[in-house]
Amino acid sequence: MNRFFTIICILALPVLVFAGNPDRQGEAGAYELLMNPWARSAGLHTMTTSMVKGIEAERINPAGIVRFEGQTEFVISHMQYLRGTDIGMSALGLAQKMGERGALSISIAAVNFGDIEVTTTNSPEGTGATYSPNFFHLGLGYSHLFENNVSVGVIVRAVSESTADLQAFGASLDAGVQYATGPKDNFKLGIALRNIGTPMRFGGEGLSVRRPNPQDDFISYELTYDTRAATFEMPSLLHIGTSYDFYYGQRHRITAMGNFTANSFSRDQIGGGVEYAFSELFMLRAGYRYDVGSTIEDVTTLNIYTGFSGGFTFDVPISRYSDTRFAIDYAYRASNPFAGSHNLSIRFIL
C-alpha cells in the first residue's frame, strides 16, 4: 500500500501544481486527445478512472487494460461528435493478455471533419474546391497486475494532424494506476496522468506566402517567404477517481462512482455517476459532470457539454462452452448548442 500511494504522489504532483488554470484555456492544441470514442466509458462522461478496463482504458487510465475478462478483446467504435457539425471519430482497438498478469494493447483513432469548402481572400465565398483535415492517433500500451491487486499501465501515442499542405506531429505518454479491494473487489481507486507529450508545430507549404521584392524600385518580382508557426502543448490532465460496487443477490449490481479531473489548460472538472447491471448481461448508466467555476450567467465559462450523460450495454455470451462474448455499447452526452454526442461500440471478448 505504501508503494501504491507513493506512485500516486509521483504521478499527481506535476499536474496538480499547474492544473485548473482557466487563463490558459485555448493555449493547448491536439484537443482531439480529449475526445472519447468508446461508448461504455462515454456513457459516464469519461469519469471511469477507477473502473475502466480493456481497450477503453487506453483513453482514460492505462492501468485498466489488463483487467478485462477473457484473453482477447477487440472493439470497434464510432462517435458522432456534437451532432450537426458533421464531425465524427472512428476507432478500433485490440487488447491481448500476455501471460497471467500482463496485457498489451494497440488502438487507432481518426477524426473525420467532412468536406470543408476552400476559401481565399479573392474568393471568400468559396472556390468550389473542398478539403478535409486528417487527424490520426496510434497508441501502444502495456498494463501489469500485481499480486496485491494494484495494476499499473503506460501508453505511448503518436499524434498526427495534417491537411494537403500543412502537417504537425507529436508523441504523448499516458500513465496510471488502479487499486481494488474488498470481498468482491468492491472498492476501486484510480489515478491517471494523460497527454504528457512533445510540443507540436505546424509546417509546410501552406505557411508560405508570396510578396513583392522590397529592395528593388525598378524591377518588380515576387519572393516566397516562409512563415514560422508557434509551437503548442498537448492538453495534459490528471484523473482521480473512485467507485464502489453494491451487490444485491446474485443478479444485481449497482456501482456508484466519483471523479475529479485537473486540467492544465482549462477549468477543473468534478462529477459522478451510477451504473446498474443485471447479471452482467444488461447495464444501464448515467452521469453528471461539472466544470468548477463555471456559471450559467456567464456563457464564456460554460462547457459545450451541459453535464448529463447516459448509456447502456448488452453483453451476451456467444458460446456455452467458452468465454466468448459479444457486446453493444451506446452513449449519449447532452450539449448546448448542437444535438449532443452519440457513441456506438461493438466489442468481442475471446
Average pLDDT over residues 103-122: 92
Contact by Cβ (8 Å): 241, 50: yes
DSSP at 45 = T
pLDDT of residue 17: 43
Average pLDDT over residues 209-217: 73
Whether omega for the bond prior to residue 317 falls within 30 degrees of 0, making it cis, is no
pLDDT of residue 55: 96
| Residue 227 confidence class, pLDDT cut points 50, 70, 90 | confident
Average pLDDT over residues 159-164: 93
Contact by Cβ (8 Å): 318, 335: no
Q: Which of 58-62, 85-89, 216-220 has the lowest mean pLDDT?
A: 216-220
C-alpha count within 13 angstroms, C-beta hemisphere, residue 98: 12
Closest CA to 255 of 47, 107, 94: 47
| Residue 21 confidence class, pLDDT cut points 50, 70, 90 | low
From CA 305, how far away is CA 45, in angstroms rounded? 10
pLDDT for residue 33 is more than 50: yes
C-alpha cell at 342: 452519440
C-alpha count within 13 angstroms, C-beta hemisphere, residue 67: 26
C-alpha cell at 243: 467507485
C-alpha cell at 310: 447516459
> What dihedral do alpha carbons 81, 84, 85, 87 form, nearest 10°?
40
- The residue ranges of every structural domain in the chain are 2-118+132-157+171-193+237-349
| Residue 3 confidence class, pLDDT cut points 50, 70, 90 | low
The average confidence (pLDDT) of the chain is: 89
Which is higher by pLDDT, 232 or 217?
A: 232
Q: Give every CB contact of residue 108 below 8 A, 6+ residues apart in sequence.
A: 91, 92, 93, 136, 137, 138, 139
The answer for 293, left when phi > 0, alpha when psi is -120 to 50, beta otherwise, is: left
pLDDT of residue 126: 87
Which is higher by pLDDT, 189 or 114?
A: 189
| Residue 295 confidence class, pLDDT cut points 50, 70, 90 | confident
Q: Which of 5-14, 24-33, 128-137, 181-190 has the lowest mean pLDDT?
A: 5-14
pLDDT of residue 255: 98
What percent of the chain has pLDDT above 70?
A: 90
pLDDT of residue 11: 47
From CA 29, how far away is CA 200, in angstroms rounded? 8
pLDDT of residue 105: 98
Closest CA to 269 of 20, 14, 82, 18: 20
Average pLDDT over residues 108-134: 90
Query: Between vectors from CA 273 to CA 303 and to CA 49, what angle results, nearest 5°?
Result: 85
pLDDT for residue 145 is more than 90: yes
- Considering all CA atoms of the chain, what is the largest pairwise distance in Å, rounded to the nearest integer? 92
From CA 120, how far away is CA 131, in angstroms rounded? 13
The Cβ of residue 331 has, within 10 Å, a number of other Cβ atoms equal to: 29
From CA 320, how far away is CA 204, in angstroms rounded? 56
Average pLDDT over residues 108-128: 90
pLDDT of residue 27: 80
Q: How far, in whole angstroms, is CA 326 from its chain's centroid? A: 23
Query: Between vectors from CA 46 to CA 272 and to CA 56, what angle results, nearest 5°?
Result: 135
Q: Which of 71-75, 203-207, 241-245, 310-314 has the lowest mean pLDDT?
A: 203-207
pLDDT for residue 223 is more than 90: no
pLDDT of residue 323: 80
pLDDT of residue 273: 97
- pLDDT tens, position by position, 338-347: 999 999 999 9
- pLDDT tens, position by position, 34-65: 999 999 999 999 999 999 999 999 999 999 99
Amino acid occupying residue 234: M
Q: In whole angstroms, how far apart are CA 117 and each of 87, 124, 129, 137, 209?
A: 15, 10, 6, 25, 20
